[in-house]
Amino acid sequence: MVEISELTVRFGGVTPLDGMSVRFEKGTCGLIGPNGAGKTTFFNVLSGFVRPVAGAVSAFGEDLLKMTHFRRARWGVRRTFQTEQAIEELSVYDNVAMIHEHSKLSGSTRRDDVIGAISLVGIKADPYAPVGTLSAVDRRLVEVARAVVGKPRIVLLDEPAAGLPDEETEHLSNVIQSIPEQTGALTILVDHDMSLVSACCETTAVLDFGKLLASGPTRDVLRDERVIRAYLGTEEVG
Amino acid sequence: MESAGVQSAENTTAAAGSDAAPEAAPSAPRTGRAPDARSFVRPAVIVALLAFVLIAFPSMFSQYYVDAWTQVAIYSIVTLGLGVLVGRVGMVSLGQGAVLAMGAWVAARLLFATSLPFPVVLLAAGLITMLLGTLVGLPALRMSGLYLALITLMLAGAITVTLANINFPNGGHGFTGYNGASVHIPPIRRPSAAITDTAYFRYCVIVAIVMFVLVLVHLRGRPGRAWAAIRQSEAAALTAGINTTFYKLWAFALASFITGVAGGLVAGSFRYLNSLTFTTQDSITLLAVVLMGGAYSMWGAVVAAFLLKFLQALLNDWGLSPDWLTILFGIGVLQVLTTAPRGLVDQVPKDLAKLGRLLAKPFRRSPAAPEREEA
C-alpha cells in the first residue's frame, strides 16, 4: 500500500502537485488526468528525481522520501518512462539483468529471474540481441521486463501504450494485468487510453492541476461528472 | 527424503528456466553471450597479431621506428583510458595529458628514490595517479559536456604548471630529486629484463596488453553495463538501482590508473624527463585523436595512438615539423564528427569493403559468380 499525503511540488512559480493526497491499495491502480495534471511529476517524486516541498509518501510502512533515488530502485520502486529508455547497446538479457545485479537479490537466481521476466512480458526477439536492433514494441516490453524482474514492490508505468498499434496494446494490457499476481507488486498505470485503464485497473485516481479530483472503482470514476469536465473542459469562460 | 524431493524439483525448474532461453547453454557465461565460431576465431587472430608485433616488429623496423612503436604502445593505454571516459561513460575530459604527467612524475620519483622492481613502480604509479586522477574526476559528478571539459582542462593546466615549477626528478637529491646543474645525471632506470630499446618495446607492448585486458574485463562486466546505461540515460540508470556517482568515479579511477601506468612507461622510455615533455595542449590533442580513432572501440585506442605518435615520428623523419599534425587532426576531427561518428576504426573497414566491391564489380559479370549480381 502506498499512501500519499499533502504532496506538494513547486518549480519556480509552477505548482505541478498541489497538496495531493491519495492511497493506492493493491493490484493495478490507474492514474489519469489531462495533460499537465502532474502525473509524471508524481512518478518523478516516487522515483526520487523530484524533491517535494511538502508532504509525505509512505510505501509499505517505509518513508520513501528518505531514500536516495538509486536505493529506492534497489528497494523495489521500478518504472518505465514516457519516452522509452531501454539501453540500446546492451542485449535484452543485460538490460533486464542490470537491475537485478544492482539490487540485493542473490546472483544464483539471476538467470532464472531474468528469463522469467522476459517471458512474462512476452518478448519475441532473441534475448541476446542488442536492444538497438529491436522493434519499438519489443523495446517497450524490455522496459516493462526491467520493471518486473526480481522483487519489485511498486511498478510505475508511464504511458506504456503511447504510440503502440491496437493489437500490441492488447498484448501489453494482458502483461500489465498479470504483473500484480505474478510479482505481488503494486502497479500504478498512467495512460490516456481509457480502454486500457479500464481493462487493467480496478481502482483509478484522477489528477487535475496537481490535486486529486476523484478516486475509487474505475467504472465509477470514469462516469464522474467532475472527471468528464476536467477532460472536456467547462463552458465557463474567464 | 522430502528434502531430496524438493531438491530435484528445484533442479527441474532450473532446467526448464534455461530451456526457455533458446541459446542459453547451462555453461554459458552470466552475461548471456552465446558462444559461436566467431568467438574463437577472433581471439586467435588477435593473439597471432600480437605475437607478430612482439616478434617481428623489432627486425622489420629501424631503431628509430621501434622507438616510435614503443610510444604507440604506451599512448594506446592513454587513449584507451580517455576512450573509456568519452566513449563508454560520456564524460569529456581534457585533463588526461596532465594525468599522464602525474604518472610519469610519480614513477620517475620512485625509480630514483627506491630500488623497487619496475613492475611494482608501475603499479604504485598507477595507484597514486588513480587517487589524484579521481580528484580530477570529481567535477564530473556535478557537471557535464562543455563545462566538464573546461574544468578538466583548467585542472590539467594547473597540474602542468605545478609540475613545470617543481621540475621532474632527474636523480638529484631532495624530495623532487632534481639536479639543476645537469651534469652526470643518471638516466631513469628501466626494468632489468628490458634495458635495450628493443626489449623495452616488447615490455611496453606486454604492459599495454595487460591494461587492455583489464579494461576489457571492466567493459564486459558489471561496470561496463552500468556505464552504458549512464551514457544513454542517467535517469534510466538510476531507476535500475545504479549508483551513478560511484560508477562515474570508478571510470575516472580506472582511466587514471592505466594512464598512471602509461606514465611510468613514458618515464622509462625517455630516460630523461623534463616538464616540456608534457604540455596542456597534449590533453587537447589526445581528445582529438581519440575521437578520430574511435572512442567506442578498443581498437580505436590503438588507431588513436598510431595517429598521435607514429605520424609524429614519420614527420620528424621526413624533416617536417610535427606541429603540422595539429592542423591535420583538426580536419580529421571535423571529418569524423560529420561523417563517421564511430571513428576511423569503424569507417575505414567499411570504406575498404566498399572499395573492394567497387573493384570487384568488373569481374563479377563473369559467369563464375552470377548469384551476387542477382542478390
**C-alpha to C-alpha distances, B138 to B134, B234, B251, B253, nearest whole angstrom:** 6, 17, 11, 10
Of A61-70, A146-155, B92-101, B169-178, the range with the lowest mean pLDDT is: B169-178
pLDDT at B258: 96
State the CB neighbour count (10 A cutoff) for residue A194.
14
Is B238 close to A89, i.e. CB distance below 8 A?
no
Rounded distance between C-alpha atoms, residue A173 and residue A157, angstroms = 12
Segment A58-79 shows an average pLDDT of 90
**Tens digits of per-residue pLDDT, A209-221?**
888 888 889 888 8
Q: What is the mean pLDDT of residues A42-66?
A: 91
Entry field: residues in chain B: 375
A220 Cβ contact partners less than 8 Å away, ≥ 6 residues apart: none
Mutate to test the interface with A, among B219, B239, B245 (most CBs of A within 10 A): B239
Question: For residue A167, is pLDDT > 60?
Answer: yes
Contact B17/A at CB under 8 A: yes
Q: Can you give the pLDDT at residue B142?
A: 80
CB contacts < 8 Å between A and B, how many? 100
What is the nearest CA distance from B119 to chain A, expressed in angstroms? 34
Q: Is the dihedral of CA A83, A95, B86, A71 positive or negative?
A: positive
CA diameter of chain B: 86
- A97 located within any domain: no
Which chain B positions have a beta carbon within 8 Å of A105's beta carbon?
none
* Total structural domains within chain A: 1
> Quick one: pLDDT at residue A165?
87
Q: List C-alpha distances in Å: A231 to A161, A204, B158.
A: 19, 15, 59
Nearest to A141 by CA among A110, A192, A176: A176
Q: For the domain that residue A205 is a member of, what is the CATH number? A: 3.40.50.300
Going residue by residue through chain B (375 aa), what tens digit of pLDDT does each one get?
Answer: 334 443 444 343 333 333 333 433 334 444 445 556 667 888 888 888 998 888 888 888 888 999 999 999 999 999 999 999 999 998 888 989 999 999 998 998 888 888 889 999 999 999 999 998 888 778 777 887 788 889 889 888 888 888 888 877 776 666 667 776 666 677 788 888 888 889 999 999 999 999 999 999 999 999 999 999 999 999 999 999 999 999 999 999 999 999 999 999 998 888 777 766 788 888 889 999 999 998 888 999 999 999 999 998 999 899 888 888 889 999 989 988 888 888 888 888 888 888 888 888 877 665 544 444 443
- The pLDDT assigned to B2 comes to 39
pLDDT above 60: residue A58: yes
Question: A194 CA to chain B: closest CA distance, Å?
Answer: 27
pLDDT for B46-61, tens place per residue? Answer: 888 998 888 888 888 8
Residue with cell 472536456: A232
Residue A214 lies inside a defined structural domain of this protein: yes
- pLDDT tens-place string over residues B273-331: 776 678 888 888 999 999 999 888 899 999 999 999 999 899 989 988 888 888 999 99
If one compares B36 and A89, the residue with the highest pLDDT of the two is A89
Question: Which residues does residue A214 pair with via DSSP β-bridges, in sequence order?
Answer: A206
The three cell numbers locating residue B350: 567499411
Expressed as residue numbers, the domain containing A183 is 2-83+151-232
**How far is residue A149's CA from residue A179's CA, in Å, rounded to a whole number?**
10
Between β-strands A154-158 and A77-79, what pairing exists: parallel, antiparallel or unpaired?
A: parallel
- Please indicate whether, in this complex, the C-beta atoms of A47 and B24 are within 8 angstroms of each other: no
Residues B25-33: contacts with CB under 8 Å, at least 24 apart: B30/A97, B30/A107, B30/A110, B30/A111, B31/A93, B31/A94, B31/A97, B31/B220, B31/B221, B32/A91, B32/A93, B32/A94, B32/A97, B32/A111, B32/A114, B32/A127, B32/A128, B33/A128
Find the residue in A nearest to B240 (Cα).
A99
Place of cell 495534471: A37
| Chain mean pLDDT for chain A | 88
Is the residue at A100 inside a domain? no
**What does the pLDDT read at residue A189?**
93
Cell readout for A131 is 536492444
Residue A184 lies in a domain: yes
For residue A146, being part of any structural domain is answered with: no
Task: Round to the nearest angstrom and report the end-to-end CA distance of chain A.
Answer: 40
β-bridge partners, A78: A155
The three-state secondary structure class of B77 is helix
In tens, the pLDDT along A169-221 reads 999 999 999 898 888 899 999 998 888 998 899 899 999 888 888 888 988 88
Reported confidence tier of residue A233, pLDDT bands at 50, 70, 90: low
Q: Nearest CA to A152 among A77, A203, A87?
A: A77
Q: Across the strands, what pairs with A5?
A: A56
8 Å CB contact of B238 and A48: yes
d(Cα B231, Cα B237) in Å, to the nearest integer?
A: 9
Residue A95 inside a domain? The answer is: no
